[in-house]
Amino acid sequence: MEPRLVGPGPYRATRLWNDTIELFRSGMPLRKHRCHFKSYERCFTASEAVDWLHRLLRHNQNFSPEVTRAQTVQLLKKFLKNHVIEDIKGRWGKEDFEDNYHLYRFPPFSPLKPYPQRPLFRKEIITFPNWDDIEKDTFQEHIPVKQIMLNSEMWFKRHSIAIGEVSTCRLVHRQRLTEANIEEIWKSMTLSHLQKILGLESLEDVLDTKLVNSKHIIQNVYHVNKQRVVILNDKSKDLPHWVLSAMKCLANWPRCPDLKQPTYLGFERDVFRTIADYYGHIEEPLLTFQFFDIFVSVLGLLQEETSAIEALQVCCLLLPPENRRKVQLLITMMARISINKDLPPLCDTAGTRTLMVQTFSRSVLRSKDEVDLDELLAAKLVSFLMDNYQKILNVPCALKAAIEEHVAHLQRVQIKYPGTDTDAAIPAPSFCHQISTDEFECQKTNGFQEPLASLLEEITKDTKMSVKEKKKKLKRFQKSYPDVYKERFPTPESEAVLFPEKSKRKPMLLMWAFKKPFQPFQRTRSFRM
């Protein structure tokens, strides 16, 4: 069973967990082992499992070649805790897994994680027939939209200007958008853009949109310095001064602008441990718990580098400004340290890049429950951030320009023609909102009755329509919408009012034209003598 790429979408972490379990169970070599003078069939040692799974993860495109053996051991501990494997005596859960020669086996049934049940959302479209529909006899059942009901008066409006009948126009100044309107536009357009990049039908399963703060997006876009790092309004939320100084020291090594104390052998390692200790004790990762699923979903796009960079640009805009600033500073420092050949080695057992990923990945991304493949997914994301930080931590210019253009369009002066619309001021843009089930059922039942009744009334009052054509249309309307028709014409008498009977003039009999009774025609005699 070959590893397959798990793309973006809902429950990606769960899908990766289940795929990894299936690959492990189907590919892990099982053989006979002997322990304490007893033989056991179809089992494997802990070290064999670590070797095989480590090789699998390193060559799996869903993970990173930088997966370490220690991370593989951590994953096997989770396998043992979740009864993916068990020791040779059938114990699991509370047992600890170590990289040794202890024997393990697969249980008879592997507990793959079930996917959460997604709520069912009906996509319903409201349509109303017009006269052309009646003539073509194309009536169909019409279902109302759950969230928006159309006004019958607005529905009957036609295009105001016919060709060759241009009327005098006037300029109407639109209402100025409020700050709340602009914030809502930024939020909705940003989320729509992210949804389009990920290719998802909805973001509901990967992101709780109610937790997205539009003010954070706007501040992350506009409140930046020359280095494009976010400027915080509240300085108390910034990194401590000593942490900033330590990060600048290593990021600019050996040129340390804030360094005042003399250096000594191993000084850079002590500075690094100071930074690592600070980030290791933060309660919540920099990418926050609430955005864990959306960042994991983006990992499915890493094979398409351009799309992944664009998606991460948008995701990082959703972060609180203090978190975005800390991510910018940390990832920039990590990337510079990894390529700095002048910096002495910070660890004797691991390379500088691997050390960066292992040390800070948990501080950047992890789930609230810290289960499944958190460490591996975080390592892959951090590696990608380090390689593309200059692009990812930039503001997406195309999105910014699109939103600014849309806001400007809504505030432009509008050309109005007489009769094209009401003279009322144009309201601020409104957005869909969820309604209750009872209200939806009420709208479903009664929402389209009024427009249909208006259409029927318009047919009956059309004086330019011939009687024959009117009867034809009414007959088809009655066939398609019997309830609406019956409400308007409950009795045959009410329907007969539309077509009053004309007094029929009896034909005058031919015999009435003569005073004498009609005599049959007699054959004349021949003129021949």
pLDDT in tens, 474-513: 888 888 888 888 888 888 877 777 776 655 555 554 444 4
How many H-runs (helices) and E-runs (strands) does the chain carry? 21, 6
Segment 312-330 mean pLDDT: 95
pLDDT at 137: 41
> Dihedral (C-alpha) 49, 53, 54, 60: value to the nearest 10 degrees?
170
Three-class secondary structure of residue 71 per DSSP? helix
Residue with tokens 């292992």: 358
Stronger pLDDT, 264 or 186, i.e. the higher one: 186
In this predicted structure, the answer to whether residue 135 has a pLDDT above a threshold of 80 is: no
Query: What confidence tier does 322 reach under pLDDT thresholds 50, 70, 90?
Result: very high
Cβ-proximal residues to 288 (8 Å cutoff; 6+ apart), any chain: 319, 320, 323
Stronger pLDDT, 94 or 135, i.e. the higher one: 94
Mean residue pLDDT across the chain: 79
Segment 285-292 mean pLDDT: 94
Segment 260-268 mean pLDDT: 75
In this predicted structure, the answer to whether residue 449 has a pLDDT above a threshold of 50 is: yes
Segment 83-102 mean pLDDT: 88
Q: Cα–Cα distance between 252 and 246 in angstroms, integer?
A: 10
Instruction: Give the best-scoring range by mean pLDDT among 148-157, 346-355, 455-464.
Output: 346-355
Is 0.75 surpassed by the pTM of this model?
A: no
pLDDT at 161: 41
Q: Cα–Cα distance between 347 and 15 in angstroms, integer?
A: 35
What domains are there in the chain, each with its CATH number?
Answer: 12-105 (1.10.10.10), 181-400 (1.10.555.10)
Q: Cα–Cα distance between 412 and 425 in angstroms, integer?
A: 13
Query: What confidence tier does 220 reach under pLDDT thresholds 50, 70, 90?
Result: very high
pLDDT at 145: 39
pLDDT at 192: 94
Q: Read off the amino acid at residue 419.
A: G
pLDDT at 482: 85
Query: What confidence tier does 525 reach under pLDDT thresholds 50, 70, 90?
Result: low
Q: Read off the amino acid at residue 402.
A: A
pLDDT at 279: 95
Tokens (6 digits) for 375: 């460490």
Segment 37-56 mean pLDDT: 92
